[in-house]
Amino acid sequence: MIMAAVVCAAAFANAGAISWNLLNLTASPDTTSKSSASYTAYLFVGTDIATKTALLEAGKFDDFTSAALASKASTYVSTTDMLNIVGGNVGNYKDTTVSAYAIILNSATAADATYYLVAKGGTGTTGTVGEEIITQTFGSTGNKTFGWGQQNTNTGWTAVPEPTSGLLMLLGMAGLALKRKRA
């Protein structure tokens, strides 16, 4: 039993982690319209971006944040609205290929977000310029860098619908249908 624990600990120690960052990241063409005092970047492992953005658009913020491998807040924003968020090392990977992507919110918490941005752009060693998903192959040891930004390739911020707006519209439509039924 003790030997199995030692082997597991040794395997964990020799595995690699994801070292992630978002540097000099801008959102063209609306680089200044989504200014915020704080931004939060979320790192996701996998390739299903649509599922995560659908959670945001449905107002399921707890599900969105719990699905993230890691998150990191940033209060640094330059005068040109370039985001610089260094996420640190996360995960435990060995002899496998990992794909990851980052989604940035224009707030300190997911529930307060009014816009989100799927980060684009590799840094040469992390993939093709302009891509959203970066894939790295881990060997038996060593970390891999997953980086987004370095160029102005993002297409812009997407609005996160306010949950009460949809509810008000639904109530209005129900009221009109009821009025028409009575007439």
pLDDT tens figures, 122-157: 654 444 556 788 888 888 888 888 887 755 455 566
pLDDT at 50: 92
pTM of the predicted model, to two decimals?
Answer: 0.72
Low-confidence winner among 10-19, 72-81, 125-134, 167-176 (lowest mean pLDDT): 72-81
Residue 56: name the closest of 159, 151, 141 by CA: 159
pLDDT at 40: 84
Residue with the two structure tokens 């040794």: 10
Q: In Å, how far are 36, 61, 95 from 75, measured between CA atoms? A: 9, 21, 36
Q: In Å, how far are 29, 68, 103, 182 from 119, measured between CA atoms? A: 14, 15, 6, 51
DSSP states of 78-132 as a string? Answer: -TT--EEEEEEEEEEE-SEEEEEEEEEESSSSGGG-SEEEE-----SSSS-TT-S
> In this structure, are strands 115-118 and 144-149 parallel, antiparallel, or unpaired?
unpaired
Sign of torsion over alpha carbons 8, 87, 134, 104:
positive
How is the chain split into domains, by residue range?
2-182
CA distance 122 to 155: 15
Higher pLDDT, 118 or 170: 118
pLDDT at 6: 37
Q: How confident is the model at residue 64 (pLDDT cuts 50, 70, 90)?
A: very high
Q: How confident is the model at residue 38 (pLDDT cuts 50, 70, 90)?
A: confident
